[in-house]
Structure 1
Amino acid sequence: MPIMTTHSELRELAPRALRAAFRAGRYAGHTAGLAPGRLQCNLAIMPAAQAEAFAEFCALNPVPCPLAGRTAPGDPALPDLGHDIDLRRDLPLYHVYRDGALADRPRDIAALWRDDMVGFAIGCSFTMESALMRAGFPMRHIERDVTVPMYRSSLETRPAGPFGGAVVVSMRPVHRDRIDEVRELSARYPMAHGAPLHVGDPAAIGIDVERPDWGSAVPIGPDELPVFWACGVTPQVAMMGAQLPLCISHAPGAMLITDLDDGTRADDEPTDRQDR
């Protein structure tokens, strides 16, 4: 068995080294706070027969599903997103769905990969968190080393083919005096879901904030409001609703870490982190 690595030990690693640790099976947790300034991505893998409909679904729903990359059928690589990326092995943890139900949570999906598989990389709000933290916004889930709380909302996506369903949102508490600031800052990151979809009363979008569907609840202070961003778990809900015989995603919170700097360039030469 490989020696497991903690989240704190991973914080100084560059993207390529992080992927190597995941590929070696040394970590199976969340990736929030890792590789600050680099694009993290949600993952959706399905047979090529459904790929065009899914691409249309992403195009119709660009806020929860900002498409960063797509593989050729049978090819697990995404060279435009990073050196030597292998979607079969380079995430900490995967979810495997069969006929719409979660069937397995493996660390490696090489045995499930087929010549007709197509992988989609979809931008993640973890990228935006680095900028928010630099601006002094606390990220309570990172402080507590838990996965960000995520909820099925009452908001609906625009359907395409068999894909549709609820918009999933993630939540971060923000001081009520800084709401306009967090809106403006996060709007600069469209590949990380952009500006919040909702601020304030969770019930207005069908949510019980104490009961996330994925991740862990975090406390909201008396001077804070819950702020909800679109979330890349939305495609998982769409794939489950489509009831495909087989499809695969990242485990919520366990992302593909790319070499892209804010979604604009691919390199792996950080100046402030040791690539080891």
Structure 2
Amino acid sequence: MTNGLASLSPADVRAFIRTNEHKGSTSGLAKGYLQANLLILPADWAADFLLFCQKNPVACPLIGVSEPGNPYIPELGYDIDVSRDVPEYHVFHDGEFSEAVNDLGQHWRDDLVIFALGCSFSFEDALMQAGLKVRNIEQKTNVSMYDTNIACLPAGKFSGNMVVSMRPFTPKDAIRAIQVTSRFPKAHGAPVHFGSPETIGIKDITQPNYGEAVDIYDGEVPVFWACGVTPQNVVRHSKPPFCITHSPGKMLITDLLNNAHAVL
């Protein structure tokens, strides 16, 4: 199914997702369009998370916020229903994962505020256009994501460590990847680390905390970008009474063009 969706428009991909015909990763889909991570919180926790995003723009690049109780964020695109247009959602109670669901019909509340955050899937097309191979797309897997020891700046009720995504490159290609992704601050921008995983608290590169492992070939180094799963790690640490996130690797696809948010 993923191969068949790769060339479709964002609206057409969302139509497959809304009817549960696609439940997998959104990596490689709707090329050229901005994808979004989600954190959905009760209104009385929203101001603190907004401040957290402002203090941590690399890990949490904010691209949209809803009105309380409204599942639509019009600036992200026409007829995007955030409560139905994501392949899988994760529900948390008191910071603990509760269940995975394919729509939020039974969980939606009038006090919920949606935060849409940029995603590194958005710069993968730019990497490929620059002639670089993106291993998770090449191997048709979800991207590898890891918890780290990199502390985010605390804000109000929220604190915790950064999560990173990893893509391997030769040193030469890693330099090019840094140049390319630096143009996309709303998709996490330049890498936060490359080389030794242990330096940022990753004990075993073959065992990602989220997503799937990919091959790292001889002569390649792991390159790490800040990841929009960071809020999920922060949720576990900060323990809001109720919240909803996307499932790692399964994003909201917006109607916003990547290049419209690129820095020349």
TM-score band w.r.t. shorter chain: over 0.9
Q: Distance between the aligned counterparts of 1:87 and 1:109, measured in 2? A: 9
Amino acid at match of 1:43: L
> Where do 1:1-276 residues align within 5 Å?
6-207=1-202, 208-262=204-258, 264=260
- Displacement of 1:85 in angstroms is 0.8
Amino acid at match of 1:38: Y
Summarize deviations over 1:195-221 as a string: whole Å, max 9, x none: 000010111111121110001111111
Q: Distance between the aligned counterparts of 1:159 and 1:193, measured in 2? A: 19
Summarize deviations over 1:160-210 as a string: whole Å, max 9, x none: 122111100000001112222111111000001000000101111111211
Q: Distance between the aligned counterparts of 1:142 and 1:91, measured in 2? A: 19
Q: Distance between the aligned counterparts of 1:42 and 1:263, measured in 2? A: 18
Indicate conservation of the 8 Å contact 2:7/2:31, yes or no: no
Q: Distance between the aligned counterparts of 1:67 and 1:243, measured in 2? A: 21
Indicate conservation of the 8 Å contact 1:94/1:250, yes or no: yes
Q: Distance between the aligned counterparts of 1:130 and 1:239, measured in 2? A: 30
SS at match of 1:112: coil
Q: Distance between the aligned counterparts of 2:259 and 2:81, measured in 1? A: 19
Q: Distance between the aligned counterparts of 1:262 and 1:25, measured in 2? A: 26
Indicate conservation of the 8 Å contact 2:32/2:259, yes or no: no
Q: Distance between the aligned counterparts of 1:26 and 1:181, measured in 2? A: 36
Q: Distance between the aligned counterparts of 1:178 and 1:21, measured in 2? A: 35
TM-score, length-scaled by structure 1:
0.92
TM-score, length-scaled by structure 2:
0.96
Amino acid at match of 1:71: S
- Displacement of 1:244 in angstroms is 1.6
SS at match of 1:232: coil
Summarize deviations over 1:109-133 as a string: whole Å, max 9, x none: 1211111000000000000000001
Q: Which runs of 5+ in 2 are unaligned?
A: none
SS at match of 2:22: coil
Structure 1 residue ranges (4+ consecutive) displaced by more than 4 angstroms after TM superposition:
none
Indicate conservation of the 8 Å contact 2:216/2:222, yes or no: yes
Q: Distance between the aligned counterparts of 1:239 and 1:19, measured in 2? A: 27
| Identity over aligned pairs, percent | 48
Q: Distance between the aligned counterparts of 2:178 and 2:8, measured in 1? A: 30
Amino acid at match of 1:148: V
Indicate conservation of the 8 Å contact 1:58/1:66, yes or no: yes
Q: Distance between the aligned counterparts of 1:52 and 1:109, measured in 2? A: 22
- Displacement of 1:264 in angstroms is 2.9
SS at match of 1:110: coil
- Displacement of 1:263 in angstroms is 6.3
C-alpha RMSD of matched pairs (Å): 1.0
Summarize deviations over 1:147-167 as a string: whole Å, max 9, x none: 100000110100112211110
